[in-house]
Amino acid sequence: MTRQENLVKASHLIDMTDVIREGNPTLREVASDVTLPLSDEDIILGEKMLDFLRNSQDPVTAEKMGLRGGVGLAAPQLDVSKKIIACLVPKDLESEGAPANDAYTLATVMYNAKIVSHSVQDAALADGEGCLSVDREVPGYVVRHARVTIEYIDKNNEKKRLKLKGYDAMVVQHEIDHTNGIMFYDRINETNPFAVKDGMLIIE
Ligand SMILES: [Zn+2]
């Protein structure tokens, strides 16, 4: 049975034991585009990735399943080298408890997502970034595009185009990076991790 066949079994819930960590070569590969129309396997994997994020954000479920909270997950993190990403960004990141269904700014599985244009302006999250595949803190500004336009295929095989800014733009860029073998700390200035280039937006 392939890795993906195991992950998409009806009885399987993705948990932290499915998430590979830095050092695993899959995280450094450029993942393959998924073939269209989408296979059932790729659709189910996407759903399960979103389920994982939902579970990870529910304090009770997360505790029970031993999950670290996450807002994004990419298939390469599950050792499946395909361009599949899931993003689940709650509207109010500070809110307590599991958010209701309409409480997300982004709740999507994206296939073959790519950046088609971006702002000249850069941006970084004030608190830096973390990653489910990185079991340590790496402080510093992760320098990304402040605004991006992305294209992807949705779960219904429809081509979508989306403009993103702010936190959502950072999350999606982090996940697209995973499908290109890039880790968040690759984008931190090595000599001065908190360097702020002229005009760079710091997102609180
Ligand atoms: Zn990550």
Q: Residue 124: which of 202, 43, 58, 51 has the closest Cα?
A: 202
- pTM for this prediction: 0.95
Q: Are strands 72-74 and 84-90 parallel, antiparallel or unpaired?
A: antiparallel
> Is 175 considered catalytic here?
yes
Q: How much of the chain is helix, strand and coil, in % rounded to 5?
A: 30, 25, 45
Q: Which domains does the chain have, with CATH numbers?
A: 3-203 (3.90.45.10)
Would you write out the chain's pLDDT as a tens digit for each of its 204 residues? 899 999 999 999 999 999 999 999 999 999 999 999 999 999 999 999 999 999 999 999 999 999 999 999 999 999 999 999 999 999 876 555 555 556 899 999 999 999 999 999 999 999 999 999 999 999 999 999 999 999 999 999 999 999 999 999 999 999 999 999 999 999 999 999 999 988 999 999
Question: Out of 129, 137, 175, 204, which one is annotated catalytic?
Answer: 175
CA of 103 to the centre of ligand 1 (A): 22
Q: Which residues contact 68 (CB under 8 A, 6 or more apart)?
A: 16, 56, 62, 132
What confidence tens digit (pLDDT) does each residue in 144-176 have? 999 999 999 999 999 999 999 999 999 999 999
User: Which residues does residue 32 pair with via DSSP β-bridges, in sequence order?
Assistant: 82
User: Which residues does residue 172 pair with via DSSP β-bridges, in sequence order?
Assistant: none
CA of 18 to the centre of ligand 1 (A): 14
CA distance 54 to 100: 10
